[in-house]
Each structure stands twice: as C-alpha cells, then as structure tokens.
Amino acid sequence: MDLPDGGHGDSSGGNQGSGTPRTPTLGDFFWVGTGCAVSVVGAGAVGYGLDAWLHTTPWLSFVGLAFGIVSAVLLCVAQLRKFT
C-alpha cells in the first residue's frame, strides 16, 4: 500500500507547499548521526577487508575512509536541505 507522503509514514510532508521550513525532530538528528557513523565505519571496514585480501595495507583503508567521509557529508547535506 502506497502512502501519500512517499511511503515513509511521516505525514508532515517536509516543507512542500507551506512556505516555511519544517523543524527537525530528534528522530531526524538520530537518522543523520546514525547514517554518518554507518557510512564512515562501513566504508572503512570494506577498505580494511580489501587491504587484508589484496595485501595493499594501508592504502585501501584510507580510500575506504575517504569514501565514507565524503558519503557522510553528502548524506548530511541532503538531510539538512529538507529543513531550509
């Protein structure tokens, strides 16, 4: 069953149509923090695993961490744009 708000169950609808930005909730902050942590740790772990498998220590770990940090920043920017 499709929900009218895009399937997320959040009936506030972001800032669509009202002209005023939506105020972030505690859940929004939790999502941003968790997403950033998972991005950095997950990409770092993938880089570390590839390093162990390909014997390229520490280069792919650094690449994985850099990818995770860039991913976390892009996630934060995308989430914060909903509130401006």
Q: Is residue 60 very low, low, confident or very high in pLDDT (cuts 50, 70, 90)? A: very high
In a domain, 24, yes or no: no
As to burial, measured by CB atoms within 10 angstroms (0-12 exposed, 13-18 middle, 19+ buried), residue 39 is buried
18 belongs to a structural domain: no
45 within a domain of the structure (yes/no) = yes
In the chain, the number of structural domains is: 1
pLDDT in tens, 2-24: 555 555 555 555 555 567 888 99
- Token pair 């880089």 is found at 47
Task: Look at residue 12 and tell me if it is in a domain.
Answer: no
Is residue 55 a part of any domain in this protein? Answer: yes
Q: What is the pTM of this model?
A: 0.72
Q: Is residue 26 part of a domain?
A: no
Query: Which residue segment(s) compose the domain that 51 sits in?
Result: 40-83
In a domain, 66, yes or no: yes
Q: What is the mean pLDDT of residues 54-74?
A: 95
Residue 19 in any domain: the answer is: no
